[in-house]
Amino acid sequence: MNNRISEFEAKLGYEFNDKTLLERALTHSSFCAGKKDKASKNNERLEFLGDAFFDAIISEELYKRLPSVEEGTLTKMRAKIVCEHSLYECGRMLGIGDFMFMGKGEEKSGGRKRESILADATEAVIGALVLDGGYEVAKKFVLTTFGKLVNEALSGKLNTDYKSEIQEKIQGISHEHLSYIVTDEKGPDHDKRFFVDLLLGDRLIGQGEGKSKKEAERNAAKQALERGDSLVF
């Protein structure tokens, strides 16, 4: 376990004073199944904290770099950066899935590569950095890791509107209707996850999950686009 923690610290470029914080950030709830005081041993509380600071850090950066931009535009720009997919891409780049502690069942089902798990763990790492090193340490990590996304958002090159993109593609080649169907909801009200099927007519062309219905729909549209013309259209 110590070797795994040390290897990930090297990836982060930061050595924790309290190693248990990073260990907890990398611990999925499935690893703690059946254990007492489960909430203090998995990464869900750190994820909650990291989510808030990730939002604040990106908000501060956009506020400083765009002094004459209206609140509404800043909010839309932030939403393109502060989302599950960008967190997942960061986690994937860090190889965070390889360092996580999770139950055998979750691992066998592909948990080390699942977008939601990697995104949540990345938020948890941000939360751990805040607690161990303070706001400036977490800010340095976020702006270094997500700097490219911030720059793309500022230049208008960051496009995550997959729903509009697939709608435009469909309109040009088919008269069938696109519909997003919520198939499941899991988790407590404060941490609910939504699961959505995207149908073209009566044909399933994409599936997605997310922390909101909109995010699940976006991910379903993204999956449909990534599958390619031969499958989708």
The residues that are catalytic are: 51, 123
How many whole angstroms separate alpha carbon 6 and alpha carbon 148?
26
The answer to whether the CB of 176 falls within 8 A of the CB of 142 is no
Tokens of 180: 């997003």
Residues 6+ apart with CB under 8 A from 227: 205, 206
